[in-house]
């Protein structure tokens, strides 16, 4: 919404005031000149901007497919200040759900771990999955193998251990997946409550600054008339 309003102001409103100020011979301050230049670029070179955007998106997708870049990007997603914990929970929930579904259909645990690591579409989870596979093949339990990685919440590890001991691993992991999904929903709702006022304030500030830059020459002109 903010982008749409800004685009409308820059493309349709700024040119009108630019024409008026040109006829009046009003001196334009720096912010107003910047807006006029942006307006000219968007109105006259929009095709080049679309091409540039397509090139940027293609380059981003190309570099993201690179294993090193993808690994660094996935690590960054887990280390983000606000969204890092949420990204971890989402990747873990995806991994646990996929693993539970696979072993419920009779897929061997090691193979299920391998596929779940790929389904998670996260290089960090793929590495974790490979390490758990090696640990299980070495004779360790699933719970002990998962406990080596702090990406899994304690409740998931406890449920995995309980499921191994009782022979109800699928049921326990399903409960763990449900718990993670509910926790994700709670985290998202809490985050939205905090973000909505901040985003509204940012949107209002940006639009207010644009309008101020548009009307500054008019205020200056009116003061000279007095």
Q: Is residue 226 part of a domain?
A: no
Q: Are 156 and 90 in a shared domain? A: yes
Q: Are 147 and 113 in a shared domain? A: yes
With contact defined as beta carbons under 8 Å apart, do 157 and 132 qualify? no
Q: Are 170 and 104 in a shared domain? A: yes
- Please count the structural domains in the chain: 2
pLDDT for 51: 93
Q: Is residue 207 part of a domain?
A: no
Q: Is residue 200 part of a domain?
A: no
Q: Are 170 and 96 in a shared domain? A: yes
Q: Are 96 and 157 in a shared domain? A: yes
With contact defined as beta carbons under 8 Å apart, do 88 and 151 qualify? yes
CA atoms of 94 and 79, how far apart (whole Å): 18
Tokens representing 43? 């109105």
CA atoms of 210 and 203, how far apart (whole Å): 11
pLDDT for 80: 86
C-alpha closest to that of 190 among 76, 82, 80: 82
CATH at 149:
1.20.81.30
Q: 163, 180, 197: which is the final residue of a domain? A: 180
Q: Are 55 and 112 in a shared domain? A: no
C-alpha closest to that of 5 among 225, 153, 217, 207: 207
Q: Are 31 and 101 in a shared domain? A: no
pLDDT for 106: 87
The phi and psi torsions of 224 (rounded to 5 degrees) equal: -70, -30
Q: Are 144 and 100 in a shared domain? A: yes
pLDDT for 226: 56
The phi and psi torsions of 60 (rounded to 5 degrees) equal: -60, -45
Q: Is residue 138 part of a domain?
A: yes
C-alpha closest to that of 41 among 15, 71, 73: 15
* Residue 120: count of CB within 10 angstroms of its CB: 24
Q: Are 92 and 51 in a shared domain? A: no
Q: Is residue 175 part of a domain?
A: yes
With contact defined as beta carbons under 8 Å apart, do 17 and 214 qualify? yes
Report the chain (226 residues): mean pLDDT per 10 consecutive residues. 82 84 79 86 88 90 78 85 86 90 89 88 87 90 89 89 88 89 89 86 86 80 65
Q: 27 in the Ramachandran plot: left (φ > 0), alpha (ψ -120 to 50) or beta?
A: beta
Q: Are 61 and 87 in a shared domain? A: no
The domain of 123 spans 83-180
Q: Is residue 109 part of a domain?
A: yes
Q: Are 94 and 165 in a shared domain? A: yes
CA atoms of 55 and 50, how far apart (whole Å): 9
Flag whether the pTM goes above 0.75: no
Q: Are 89 and 163 in a shared domain? A: yes
Q: 37, 65, 93: which is the final residue of a domain? A: 65
Q: Is residue 71 part of a domain?
A: no
pLDDT for 23: 80
Q: Is residue 216 part of a domain?
A: no
C-alpha closest to that of 86 among 192, 161, 172, 175: 192
Contacts of 138 (CB under 8 A, 6+ apart): none
Residue with tokens 């905090």: 194
């Amino acid at each position: 919404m903010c982008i749409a309003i800004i685009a409308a102001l820059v493309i349709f409103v700024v040119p009108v005031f630019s024409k008026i100020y040109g006829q009046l011979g009003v001196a334009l301050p720096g912010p107003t000149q910047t807006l006029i230049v942006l307006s000219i670029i968007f109105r006259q070179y929009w095709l080049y901007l679309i091409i540039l955007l397509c090139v940027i998106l293609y380059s981003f997708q190309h570099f993201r497919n690179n294993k090193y870049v993808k690994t660094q990007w996935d690590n960054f997603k887990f280390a983000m200040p606000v969204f890092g914990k949420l990204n971890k929970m989402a990747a873990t929930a995806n991994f646990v759900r996929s693993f539970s579904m696979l072993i419920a259909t009779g897929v061997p645990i090691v193979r299920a771990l391998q596929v779940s690591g790929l389904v998670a579409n996260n290089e960090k989870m793929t590495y974790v999955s490979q390490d758990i596979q090696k640990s299980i093949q070495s004779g360790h339990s699933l719970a002990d193998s998962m406990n080596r990685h702090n990406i899994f919440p304690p409740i998931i590890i406890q449920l995995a251990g309980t499921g191994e001991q009782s022979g109800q691993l699928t049921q326990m992991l399903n409960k763990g997946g449900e718990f993670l999904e509910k926790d994700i929903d709670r985290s998202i709702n809490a985050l939205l409550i905090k973000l909505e006022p901040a985003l509204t304030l940012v949107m209002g500030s940006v639009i207010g600054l644009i309008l101020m830059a548009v009307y500054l020459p008019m205020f200056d002109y009116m003061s000279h008339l007095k």
